[in-house]
Structure 1
């Protein structure tokens, strides 16, 4: 914070003053009536009347007090605008942030000012005076409530004047620091407010050994395995973790860029634990570890690895305040080291607050926290300060957001002591190592990529339709009866056509697996688990892109519909992954098309496809694994050097000008490239689903909103395991308006949902909606 011109003591006082001032408006007789009203229907009606709101009057009071405090300080810098920032965040501490410029316009509205007149006249000034004189005296802030009540309209004019100056400054300076300090103060306020209201606080001192992963590797005998693969894994692990003591802690953005399957999950965790210990010892920073990944399919996989580390080495029970999984399919349950257990709303409250030493979560959760205006998401914004953030499979971040995220991440690193570790086999140039923007923890990565000779890539750029492709693969799957195959497609419909074709071949001694978002999550995870298990039968797997990044499967031959370089490299990591074959795995890249265009053009931007083709033209039609590092680096360099940064620059202007609402409406980490409006559909796939649906309908009938929410949380994880999202155009009936969801009942399941391939697109118009 000192780089903002705000020392730790001053920042602490600012947060305190915002905290004690933010509910000033609850002292009106209007709010007190609302507070003590016992009839819920009357209370709801009062909530809609403006004089019963407390945000705006509290915001004006907060500005008034902060102005007095800042005025007493000698060196102002950014502090000059702290009162205006305090006004903005207190005004919306029970809602979502809006654009800063819009939030102050109410102060020129006479009707609004007359409402505040009524509130001012209704204040219990004697009691408020006693409370605030005592609180503010410690800070040397003279306080006269009568002065505030008499001069509040003049204060409102001061806020307007300060706002105009502040908005002009934001537009001129384009400084991300104002965004970061505003959201940090907002996050601290709403988190503290919610903790106070809930009476739940489980913060505790939990020590995790920095040698935890070292001990785990010994316990599991990893050091004794002399295979080439394990030898490289151990070399990478040693290089990354043994240099922690020599690391310059002023550098806060790191890279672990190593080949797929080379143990980066354990390596990054061990590095983070050792960095955590060093930060505690040298900087007195108690850093939590936030491990973020793009896909649910690998979150559970990597969480299971972390869980196994703790259960193998630690003697204490593993609890959620030590290791937490946070995504929409995770259990709503929270247990502490002291064996205190929470369920329902209390559990959700703790989970969403990231009150744990290690959090395993999604990119959506993480990036839609640091780029957001949502009250619920921003509650944990301040916890990212002083943390160690591991971003795994970072190549999945859309290139159009590189500049935006670089700016925000750099701000966290520079101003909030946040350390970032970018982990991937295909490192995008969000931060440029040639410019010293990121520290490479693996100095010998060229050597490691050269050591592997697991796969050979064959690139065929002449487009072909699916019938032509069937002719190519038929003979191969028939002849190579001992080989496991993986086929990866760009669209669900093309993947379905090939899967059904392969099934029709009725090949002996073969198990078939189909994976896409067309299948309910419960079945997807089950299929991935089955694929990873050893079997006497060979496996033929057909999938969309969801299987690419991080899913730990190992096949002999891959066919991949044309994609960008990073996707090609990721799918190559599923081929001969563990280097257990005495021969190279084969990865075949083909260009498939329908009657309109190539399938890749439905999914990827033309810009990225063109850069991929430019890079591939520099290589022969066959590429070996040792070439992949150069291939990836060349691709990302071309993307960075020639891509438009217009979208990132526009979003950055929203950030720098505190246009929170506009920013959130335009930022989408996951784009729906189909352009079709979608509907969530509950698939009553089995008797367990039928019971869950019954509970859901009962829950929706409950009148009390808190009762409904509590009931839904008890079934949320299992409920979401049966949800798929499909285009409305392919769903033959209206969604159930009273339930806000589509529904395929168990008795009709065979017509509309296939157990192997999921949702049937050619649905009959006779489908019932009840």
Structure 2
């Protein structure tokens, strides 16, 4: 039987042989493109590539049954859907048993008792769940019970062994594997018993060793498989050699004339830039975790990009590593800001907009559009596929996207897991990572650095002690950081730890606003209720030559971003801004006076960065820390953990009541040292045990980068604020009439960006509008807007006794 006589299909329009060959080859070439350091695993790069190939050619073995073929060729959609749910028509488990069988034959002659011994079990786990989300490994293997094996009996009987024999003889040509399809069919129950026996040994090993490497190897192979599978199934593969000049930002700074500006701010920014970028030549490339710790507003965005581009060039030249640059930030409010800065670099130097395969923005409000340098354009599902695969040289994305990729069990998220290997990852504003996850993320990041040659750059003014510089776990690229903090003298901090209620605070701030009619004010509060209370009070003053702004997540994203843009623009009127803490990290605004309800040290430092940011004021900016309370407790208790607040109080009590910018670095260091030395690592240790024992489902259930401390059940609400929203909602409703799920999703993607711009998340108990049937979403119709949404302050809540957190 020759390959031209094949009839088994993997997809309606594709032969099974061709699909298995393509996925195996793509898996192999993907792994070969990576420079890995797997000596500790006893795996060389050629062996790893072969394992990826074998997993790829085995993953759809079970599609060779009569059951699957009849399902695939069924033309009646309702019958096909009913068949899909019957176990004998599914192919994952039988393919997983086959993958175990093939991998064991490949591994056995290598006579290696390290991780290689368990590659067949790992291959079983990967293939079994290649169409779903990963479960806990022990539970996954325990599903091999008698009832399940009786289903496999039926599938074995229905295999087209003649064609499968020919397929695998060709696919395994050149591999020292004595494959025989009849042997597999006769011995599959013994193979299943062997999997169960090795499970006990494997699980015992995982619990004993507590080694993160098993997790990283498993997810890398899983990621390579599902990415290769989806690429071949979709026939979408964009890959090209793209050169980005390491001097790109240098040229941009010259074009923009930054070097000629001799202000103190620009002088310091240029010194920091030169110190960081010049360090690249002497850098020990065996050290892979770096920090850039500089004051807010000192140009860290362009500095870190330039450093990454120069590191990328050096890695390519000396180690033949082609690195992506992944720039990750915690908040949507600054993603667009930093992306725009990167885009301006390309537009200024290259005199054209960068295509998406060069520079990509990935978050839920981003456009679903993808264009290559060759002007090939993709939209809808094809575009989404390329975006979610991070098929670009520079990716600007969120912490949620990044950290819920490296700590996940989700098929959709893990597809891009392997792209992080060999990448240069810039983590901006890392102080926002919850301290309870420090140890977990430290171990996973360290594993990427050590085994997958991934480089990490931690960027912030307030460097948390995730990695300890005293132990040389992280290399500071800014050797003169103390000097730079001393040179900046932009703000004075006044700390008042005596609690006051909102009425007392109103009197205080009203008095100062009236006394200083030319000063811009920013008031940052901890709860929605207090922020609305203060904004409404100040707004009613109707002071001359004053514009009032309110910012909170209960304002739809479209309006929120519009307000931030207006705040940043020059104006003859002074500005009074009342906000919840979303304003803190990175939002590039500049005011004279800041009031901040009590918060953790890193939050205080961040909000100080919004005060006299560009050193353009005749006097120091003033940052005033107050402690607000209601009838029950201090308002910060609704937001922050007692542990972090207590550490902040301890540090501030040891400090003068007036502080200056030069004092901030020691204040931050003291705070993070106290947090590290006295914090409980119980949460991280529990999650780390899930990582090390391959308990994927348990891990994802417990890991939440964004923790809703209030604990309210929330609902997404679409706010039909304007005529555009009315149009979008009509299109959204029409989606229900599209029966084909792929066509429905394709249509949704055409409106997703604009739809999300009108979406807010509110506590369900505060949403009294009737929910549209079957949509699982709240809806505020245009004609009822005045009852539920205020253009200035956003969603109208039933506040009463409730404290709502933002």
Mark yes or no: TM-score above 0.5: yes
Separation in structure 2 between the aligned mates of residue 736 and residue 631 of structure 1, nearest angstrom: 51
Out of 79, 83, 94, the residue aligned to residue 46 of structure 1 is: 83
Separation in structure 2 between the aligned mates of residue 387 and residue 745 of structure 1, nearest angstrom: 46
Q: Matched residue of 1:554: which SS?
A: coil
Separation in structure 1 between the aligned mates of residue 335 and residue 786 of structure 2, nearest angstrom: 31
1:734 to partner: Cα distance: 4.4
Out of 64, 88, 91, the residue aligned to residue 101 of structure 2 is: 64
1:315 to partner: Cα distance: 4.1
1:270 to partner: Cα distance: 0.1
Out of 459, 465, 482, the residue aligned to residue 501 of structure 2 is: 465
Out of 521, 531, 542, the residue aligned to residue 495 of structure 1 is: 531
Aligned to 2:26: none
User: Contact 1:317–1:337 (CA<8 Å) still a contact in 2?
Assistant: no
Aligned to 1:16: 53
Does residue 517 of the first structure (1) align with residue 548 of the second (2)?
A: no
Q: Matched residue of 2:143: which SS?
A: helix
Out of 175, 189, 198, the residue aligned to residue 225 of structure 2 is: 189
1:380-408 residue CA offsets vs partner (Å, 9 max, x unmatched): 00000000000000000000000000000
Aligned to 1:140: 176
1:704 to partner: Cα distance: 1.2
1:499 to partner: Cα distance: 0.2
Separation in structure 1 between the aligned mates of residue 54 and residue 537 of structure 2, nearest angstrom: 68
Separation in structure 1 between the aligned mates of residue 112 and residue 187 of structure 2, nearest angstrom: 27
Moved over 4 A (4+): none
Moved more, 521-530 or 72-81: 72-81
Out of 532, 537, 542, the residue aligned to residue 578 of structure 2 is: 542
Separation in structure 1 between the aligned mates of residue 209 and residue 739 of structure 2, nearest angstrom: 50
1:317 to partner: Cα distance: 4.5
User: Contact 1:732–1:763 (CA<8 Å) still a contact in 2?
Assistant: no
Alignment of 1:738-749 (within 5 A): 738-749=774-785
User: Contact 1:293–1:363 (CA<8 Å) still a contact in 2?
Assistant: yes
1:167-186 residue CA offsets vs partner (Å, 9 max, x unmatched): 00000000000000000000
User: Contact 1:731–1:763 (CA<8 Å) still a contact in 2?
Assistant: no
1:94-137 residue CA offsets vs partner (Å, 9 max, x unmatched): 00000000001121x21111110110011111110011012113
1:32-60 residue CA offsets vs partner (Å, 9 max, x unmatched): 00111111111101001100000000000
Alignment of 1:440-589 (within 5 A): 440-589=476-625
Aligned to 1:175: 211
Q: Matched residue of 1:460: which SS?
A: strand
Aligned to 2:134: 97
Alignment of 1:98-113 (within 5 A): 98-107=135-144, 109-113=145-149
Instruction: Give me the TM-score of the superposition, normalised by structure 2.
Output: 0.94
Out of 738, 757, 762, the residue aligned to residue 726 of structure 1 is: 762
Aligned to 1:375: 411
Aligned to 2:644: 608
Separation in structure 2 between the aligned mates of residue 208 and residue 519 of structure 1, nearest angstrom: 39
Out of 266, 289, 309, the residue aligned to residue 253 of structure 1 is: 289
Separation in structure 1 between the aligned mates of residue 359 and residue 135 of structure 2, nearest angstrom: 34
Out of 746, 763, 766, the residue aligned to residue 710 of structure 1 is: 746
Separation in structure 2 between the aligned mates of residue 609 and residue 762 of structure 1, nearest angstrom: 28
Q: Matched residue of 2:749: which SS?
A: helix
Out of 664, 671, 695, the residue aligned to residue 659 of structure 1 is: 695
Separation in structure 2 between the aligned mates of residue 88 and residue 428 of structure 1, nearest angstrom: 36
User: Contact 2:769–2:779 (CA<8 Å) still a contact in 1?
Assistant: no
1:122-174 residue CA offsets vs partner (Å, 9 max, x unmatched): 11111100110121131111111000000000000110111110000000000
Separation in structure 2 between the aligned mates of residue 316 and residue 309 of structure 1, nearest angstrom: 10
1:261-309 residue CA offsets vs partner (Å, 9 max, x unmatched): 0000000000000000000001110000000000000000000000000
Separation in structure 1 between the aligned mates of residue 562 and residue 334 of structure 2, nearest angstrom: 13
1:316 to partner: Cα distance: 5.1
1:75 to partner: Cα distance: 3.3
Separation in structure 1 between the aligned mates of residue 288 and residue 797 of structure 2, nearest angstrom: 48
Alignment of 1:344-423 (within 5 A): 344-423=380-459
- Structure 1: gaps (5+ residues): 765-770
1:761 to partner: Cα distance: 0.7
Instruction: Give me the TM-score of the superposition, normalised by structure 1.
Output: 0.98
Separation in structure 1 between the aligned mates of residue 111 and residue 656 of structure 2, nearest angstrom: 67
1:474 to partner: Cα distance: 1.1
Aligned to 2:274: 238
Out of 232, 248, 253, the residue aligned to residue 212 of structure 1 is: 248
Separation in structure 2 between the aligned mates of residue 15 and residue 634 of structure 1, nearest angstrom: 47
Aligned to 1:294: 330
1:539-582 residue CA offsets vs partner (Å, 9 max, x unmatched): 00000000000000000000000000000000000000001112
Aligned to 1:323: 359
Moved more, 732-741 or 390-399: 732-741
User: Contact 1:279–1:286 (CA<8 Å) still a contact in 2?
Assistant: yes
Q: Matched residue of 1:267: which SS?
A: helix
Does residue 123 of the first structure (1) align with residue 123 of the second (2)?
A: no
- Structure 2: gaps (5+ residues): 1-36, 801-806
Aligned to 1:768: none
Separation in structure 1 between the aligned mates of residue 573 and residue 351 of structure 2, nearest angstrom: 40
**Backbone CA RMSD of aligned residues:** 0.9
Separation in structure 2 between the aligned mates of residue 388 and residue 441 of structure 1, nearest angstrom: 15
Out of 632, 646, 653, the residue aligned to residue 668 of structure 2 is: 632
Aligned to 1:87: 124
